[in-house]
Structure 1
Amino acid sequence: MNTKYYDLINQTFYFPQEEFTLNKDNLQFHNIDLMKLVEQYGTPLKFTYLPQISNNINKAKGWFRKAMEKNKYEAKYYYCYCTKSSHFKFIMNEAFKNNIHIETSSAYDINIVEKLMEEGKINKNTYVVCNGFKRDEYVENIARLINNGHSKTVPVIDNFEELDLLQEQIKGKFKIGIRIAAEEEPKFEFYTSRLGIGYKNIVPFYRKQIQENKQVELKMLHFFINTGIRDTAYYWNELLKCMKVYVALKKECPTLDSLNIGGGFPIKNSLAFEYDYQYMIDEIVNQIKISCEEAEVDVPHIFTEFGSFTVGESGGAIYQVLYQKQQNDREKWNMIDSSFITTLPDTWAINKRFVMMAINRWNDTYERVLLGGMTCDSDDYYNSEQNMNAVYLPKYNKEKPLYIGFFNTGAYQETIGGFGGLHHCLIPQPKHILIDRDENGILATEVFSEQQSSEDVLRILGYDKK
């Protein structure tokens, strides 16, 4: 009778998978023995597997290279890292090993860019695409970057006032982009994105404020879809609308030569995840080329801004099941040694799913459970099917500790949760380790931050002024 946890996973999904394998009774992630990490560092534990960042960057570069060769697309591709997904230095250091570019969202991003330049991680050939709503400090920082000679800084105009604000502070000529305010999917509570300039207003805006402006050179049209790059009628329809704007603008603006197809690729959130990246890229490149050929204009250079795709699949979290509570005839709660609200806020805020599996005891029988965090908040729980179904794990046994892992958690969690700050019910932030490999593939780990202590929390609260 197939009642082991291994049988459940093997019958439900294709397993093992590229990054997930089994060593006897224990789960491995990219051939990393996760139970050894638990034994060495304890739980709760967050980790970042740095090589996966470079792996994903180079996969995307390869897919675009193949698509451009296949479609005889005569322009260049530029991979930008979208900093808002994770601003940590260890992320940037790994990402910028791969000759990529950077997309910023706010004023302090520019300070990070300047630090990266000081350290030689990026240089004057690196494009800095400045997105987001821009006011005083952000405008000042962008102007400082351009005035100091970084000519490949491209502020993307989000509203009609920004161009004037930039011109007041920037000396000499500079490049800009314009962001399209895309129409949202019908499921949204609003029809049009709050960011960017409406489709019908872009060409008139160019004629009024840019066409005769000797200080400004329009180089880029920015197209962003909030739901990401997906094979849906909605996405293809919005892309074609964007291309109509690009073509109309290109016919009046010869300096326009780049299209930024913002909006990210999805990442694996389940062992059943399927997505044909190469097909999507082939089709995007093909549609752009067809639109340009029909209009008899040159194809644009293509920029992408991948944040979650760059860093998401590098991150993970491991917890111990401390206790099981039988609350009624049907519901068993496995209580973890941390909080979902604290460490995986996306699971609580937007019901986001992550890959979740047992780390050990794969040869034990399984049971249906609910996963609860340690806080006193009723929303501090995780459900694999976004509040519809429970999860299945090896049966709780207080004599045999059970550890569970959440994977592909590398984007947004620290910034949403507030790294180093106060957390709900003062649940401490867990220890965070970095995992890397040397040139011979040998694994190396180091502690990035220790688990938050009571002293750390009291200091933030003002009880300890030292």
Structure 2
Amino acid sequence: MKTKYRDLIEQTFDFPQNEFKLKEGNLTFHGIDLMNLIKEYGTPLKFHYLPQISNNIQRAKSWFREAMSNLGYSGNYYYSYCTKSSHFSFVLDEALKNDVHIETSSAFDIDIVQNLKNKGKLGPNNYVLCNGFKLPKYIQNIANLIDQEDIKVIPIVDNFREVSELLEATDKNLSIGIRIASEEEPKFEFYTSRLGIRYRDILPFFNTLIKDNPRVDVKMLHFFINTGITDTAYYWNELTKCLRVYCELKKVCPTLDSLNIGGGFPIKKSLAFDYDYFYMVQEILQQVKHVCEEENIPEPHIFTEFGSFTVGESAGAIFKVLYQKHQNDREKWNLIDSSFMTNLPDTWAINQRFIMLPVNKWEEKYERVLLGGLTCDSDDYYNSEQHSNAIYLPQFDPNSPLYLGFFNTGAYQETIGGFGGLKHCLIPEPKHILISRNENGQLVTEVFSEEQNASDFMNLLGYYK
């Protein structure tokens, strides 16, 4: 009879997988011996495996390169990293090794760009795409970057007034993009995205405020929908509408030569994940090529702004099961040595699922459990309501620790959780380590930040002032 945890996973999923394998009954992730990591650094623990950032960038570039070659597509492809997914310096440093461009969202993003430029990591061949609603400080920082004339800055205007505000902030000419306010899915509580300019207003906006202004060129049309890049009638319909607007604008605006399709590639959140990236890339390019041929206009250069796809699959968190509570005849609660709400906030905020697997005890029998965090909040849990199926884990033994890994957590969790700041119930930020490989392919680890302590919190709360 197959009663081991390993049996459960192998009969439920295609396992092992590229990044997940077993070594002597313990889980490895991209060849990283996670039990050795635990022995060296303890738990709770967060980590980034930096080579996966480069790996995903190169995968995407290869899909676009192959699809463009297959289709005879005449435009170029530009991969941009969306910084809001993770602003950490180690993420940007790794991404920029791969000849990528940057997309920003707010004023302080430009300080990061300036820092990278001063270090020689961004230069004349890099684009900086400035998205988002632009407060005065953001406008001024963009203008300062444009004034330096040693990097290609494209402010993507979100509303009618931003062009005049930028012109007032700099004496230089502007090369801009225009963001389309896409229509949302019927299930949304609103019809049109609050971001960007409505489809029907883009041509009048250009003709009234831009066409006769010698200081402004429109280079890019920007398109993005919240659902991401999905093989649905809704996505293809919105893309087609965007392409029609592009063609109409191109006919009266010769400088327009680029289409930005935003981000939205999904990342792996389950061992049963199945998404044909290359198919989607080729279908998108085929749609673009078809509409452009119909309208007799040149095919645009394609920009993407992948954030979660770039960094999401590079990171993980490891927790220890501290205690098991039997609250009634059916529910067993495994309590971890951290908090879901504070350290994996999307599990609480949007019921996000991550790949969750035990690190050890794969040869032990399994049981059905609920997972709880350390805060006193009733929402600090991770169970079948937030996991697609019931949670089964190796049986708890108070004399033999059980460790759990949550994987592909690299996008948004630190920024939403307030990295290094106050936490609910003052649950500390875990130790954070970086993992890379040297020129011989050997793993190298370093501590990026230590676990928060009482002094950190006391200082933030003003008790030491």
For 1:56, the equivalent position in structure 2 comes to: 56
Give the whole-Å Cα distance in 2 for the aligned partners of 1:270 and 1:173. Answer: 48
Q: Secondary structure in 2 aligned to 1:262?
A: coil
The one-letter code of the counterpart of 1:86 is S
Instruction: Tell whether the 8 Å contact from 1:227 to 1:263 is kept in structure 2 after alignment.
Output: no
Identity of counterpart residues, as a percentage?
A: 67
CA displacement 1:368-419 (0-9 Å, x = unmatched)? 0000000000000112552675311000000110000000000000000001
In the superposition, the TM-score normalised over structure 2's length comes to: 0.99
Give the whole-Å Cα distance in 1 for the aligned partners of 2:162 and 2:293. Answer: 33
Within 5 Å, give how 1:54-203 maps onto structure 2: 54-150=54-150, 152-203=152-203
Q: Secondary structure in 1 aligned to 2:334?
A: strand
CA displacement 1:309-334 (0-9 Å, x = unmatched)? 00000010000000000111111000
Cα 1:387–1:276 change in 2 (3 A) is closer
TM-fit CA distance, 1:186: 1.2
Give the whole-Å Cα distance in 2 for the aligned partners of 1:439 and 1:235. Answer: 42
Give the whole-Å Cα distance in 2 for the aligned partners of 1:403 and 1:210. Answer: 59
Q: Secondary structure in 2 aligned to 1:224?
A: coil
TM-fit CA distance, 1:264: 1.7
TM-fit CA distance, 1:120: 1.0
Instruction: Tell whether the 8 Å contact from 1:226 to 1:263 is kept in structure 2 after alignment.
Output: no
Instruction: Tell whether the 8 Å contact from 2:344 to 2:417 is kept in structure 1 after alignment.
Output: yes
Give the whole-Å Cα distance in 1 for the aligned partners of 2:73 and 2:250. Answer: 17
For 1:398, the equivalent position in structure 2 comes to: 398
Residue 433 in structure 1 maps to residue 433 in structure 2: yes
Instruction: Tell whether the 8 Å contact from 1:321 to 1:404 is kept in structure 2 after alignment.
Output: yes
TM-fit CA distance, 1:29: 0.2
Give the whole-Å Cα distance in 2 for the aligned partners of 1:367 and 1:4. Answer: 10
Give the whole-Å Cα distance in 2 for the aligned partners of 1:172 and 1:305. Answer: 26
Q: Secondary structure in 2 aligned to 1:207?
A: helix
Runs of 4+ aligned structure 1 residues displaced above 6 Å come to none
Give the whole-Å Cα distance in 1 for the aligned partners of 2:96 and 2:106. Answer: 20
CA displacement 1:115-143 (0-9 Å, x = unmatched)? 00011111121000000000100000000
TM-fit CA distance, 1:16: 0.3
Give the whole-Å Cα distance in 2 for the aligned partners of 1:62 and 1:387. Answer: 33
Give the whole-Å Cα distance in 2 for the aligned partners of 1:142 and 1:124. Answer: 16
CA displacement 1:1-30 (0-9 Å, x = unmatched)? 011000010000000001000002100000
Instruction: Tell whether the 8 Å contact from 1:25 to 1:360 is kept in structure 2 after alignment.
Output: yes
Gaps of 5+ in 1: none
CA displacement 1:40-92 (0-9 Å, x = unmatched)? 00000000000000000000000000010001000100000000000000000
For 1:352, the equivalent position in structure 2 comes to: 352
Give the whole-Å Cα distance in 1 for the aligned partners of 2:386 and 2:40. Answer: 33
Residue 206 in structure 1 maps to residue 200 in structure 2: no
Residue 222 in structure 1 maps to residue 219 in structure 2: no
Q: Secondary structure in 2 aligned to 1:428?
A: coil
* Larger displacement relative to structure 2 (274-283 or 166-175): 166-175
The one-letter code of the counterpart of 1:294 is E
Residue 342 in structure 1 maps to residue 371 in structure 2: no
Give the whole-Å Cα distance in 2 for the aligned partners of 1:174 and 1:374. Answer: 52
CA displacement 1:163-215 (0-9 Å, x = unmatched)? 11111012121100000000011111111000000000001100001110111
Give the whole-Å Cα distance in 1 for the aligned partners of 2:43 and 2:263. Answer: 34
Instruction: Tell whether the 8 Å contact from 2:321 to 2:335 is kept in structure 1 after alignment.
Output: yes
For 2:362, the equivalent position in structure 1 comes to: 362
Gaps of 5+ in 2: none
* Larger displacement relative to structure 2 (68-77 or 169-178): 169-178
Give the whole-Å Cα distance in 2 for the aligned partners of 1:197 and 1:93. Answer: 33
Give the whole-Å Cα distance in 1 for the aligned partners of 2:383 and 2:154. Answer: 42
Give the whole-Å Cα distance in 2 for the aligned partners of 1:401 and 1:172. Answer: 63
The one-letter code of the counterpart of 1:233 is A
CA displacement 1:105-162 (0-9 Å, x = unmatched)? 0000000000000111111210000000001000000000001114510000100111
Residue 286 in structure 1 maps to residue 286 in structure 2: yes
* Larger displacement relative to structure 2 (164-173 or 334-343): 164-173
Give the whole-Å Cα distance in 2 for the aligned partners of 1:352 and 1:199. Answer: 32
Cα 1:155–1:411 change in 2 (3 A) is same
The one-letter code of the counterpart of 2:95 is A
For 1:22, the equivalent position in structure 2 comes to: 22
In the superposition, the TM-score normalised over structure 1's length comes to: 0.99
Cα 1:442–1:70 change in 2 (3 A) is same
For 1:326, the equivalent position in structure 2 comes to: 326
For 1:383, the equivalent position in structure 2 comes to: 383
Within 5 Å, give how 1:405-420 maps onto structure 2: 405-420=405-420
TM-fit CA distance, 1:294: 0.4
